[in-house]
Amino acid sequence: MKVVNRIEDLKRFLSQEREKGKHIGLVPTMGALHAGHLSLVKRCVAENDICVVSVFVNPTQFNDKHDLETYPRTLDKDCALLEPAGCTYVFAPSVEEMYPEPDTRVFDLGPVASVMEGPRRPGHFNGVAQVVSKLFYIVEPDRAYFGEKDFQQIAVIREMVKQLGLPVQIVDCPICREEDGLALSSRNTRLSPELRKKAPLIAKTLKESVAKAAGMSVKEVHDFVVNTINQDPDMEVEYYEIVDGNTMQPIQKWSDTDYPVGCITVYCGDVRLIDNVKYNKQ
């Protein structure tokens, strides 16, 4: 495994691999890796000859300066996890390397970006599109791997790829969870031990709502989820939307879509957690 900091070096290594007919997979991350990230890496390793993992805390996608400054940076530990997972190249550029000049590109990502996280984190998806498109231009991967934990992000990336006409296959990977159901996230380490015990209520409630959904309206399921979680004084649902899993648009009734997905954001204390669940077609 090679750790590469320079764009020029990575491009040179990868063009040599491509000349040998190797297929290249990319896993974009912001580091502080956990088993969720590693599940993407393992899939990438299994499906490609070369696995590139980028580790870059992208400033342009943070709309909260404090969040950017306190984001965990653990490159040595990340590399120690990536090598045994079969990663071929770790791409860990500096901010100056990725953005020698400010990236002024403004993407019009349309309806998939205008709901849920979009209006609540202004500039976030534009920053994601900036960094992921740059990574795609640098790496030119055959396939790129993203976690369904960030469900809306995958739809935004698919839209960007379509608009730019990039020849990359987007592969979505299932959410990895702790044994108690909590979706793995680099932000879970910010939970106090007491809140850490409470956080699984989110996944538990979503799971329960799937079991109850047959025979309930979309609104009833929505209200059940919000009310159950909000009953805990330390938890506050920011939004819960049941949407069409392709368009991200809210549905009114189950027959509005073949692919209903519930997307939630909850403040657990002051830690913002996201999760989602797929409902059966009704």
**Dihedral-angle region of residue 123 (phi above 0 means left; psi in -120 to 50 means alpha; beta otherwise):** left
Return the residue of 25, 93, 118, 147 that touches ligand AMP, per CB under 6 A. 147
Do residues 243 and 263 touch, judged by C-beta distance below 8 A?
A: yes
124 binds ligand AMP (CB under 6 A): no
Return the residue of 117, 150, 241, 275 that touches ligand AMP, per CB under 6 A. 150
36 binds ligand AMP (CB under 6 A): yes
Q: Among 18-26, 68-76, 168-176, 261-269, which window interacts with ligand AMP (CB under 6 A)?
A: 168-176
Is 23 in the active site?
no
Q: How far is the CB of 36 from ligand AMP (least distance, A)?
A: 3
Q: Among 64-72, 135-143, 179-187, 233-241, which window interacts with ligand AMP (CB under 6 A)?
A: 179-187
- Through-space distance between the first and last CA atoms of the chain, rounded to whole angstroms: 47
Separation CA 228–CA 268 (nearest Å): 14
Q: Among 1-9, 68-76, 171-179, 247-255, which window interacts with ligand AMP (CB under 6 A)?
A: 171-179
CB-wise, 48 or 185, nearer to ligand AMP? 185
Kindly state the tokens that stand for 258.
């073949």
What SS3 state is found at 21?
Answer: coil
What SS3 state is found at 122?
Answer: coil
Do residues 270 and 277 touch, judged by C-beta distance below 8 A?
A: no
Q: Which amino acid is at 62?
A: F
Q: Among 8-16, 69-77, 141-149, 233-241, which window interacts with ligand AMP (CB under 6 A)?
A: 141-149
Do residues 202 and 272 touch, judged by C-beta distance below 8 A?
A: no
40 binds ligand AMP (CB under 6 A): yes
247 binds ligand AMP (CB under 6 A): no
Return the residue of 4, 26, 37, 168 that touches ligand AMP, per CB under 6 A. 37
Q: How far is the CB of 5 from ligand AMP (least distance, A)?
A: 18
Kindly state the tokens that stand for 154.
């995958």
CB-wise, 36 or 245, nearer to ligand AMP? 36
Closest CA to 250 of 129, 111, 107: 111
Kindly state the tokens that stand for 247.
């368009």
Do residues 24 and 14 touch, judged by C-beta distance below 8 A?
A: yes
Site for ligand AMP in 11-30 (CB under 6 A): 29-30
**Dihedral-angle region of residue 200 (phi above 0 means left; psi in -120 to 50 means alpha; beta otherwise):** alpha
CB-wise, 74 or 247, nearer to ligand AMP? 74
> Where along the sequence are the contacts to ligand AMP (CB under 6 A)?
29-30, 36-37, 39-40, 146-147, 149-150, 173, 175-176, 183-186
What positions carry a catalytic annotation? Answer: 37
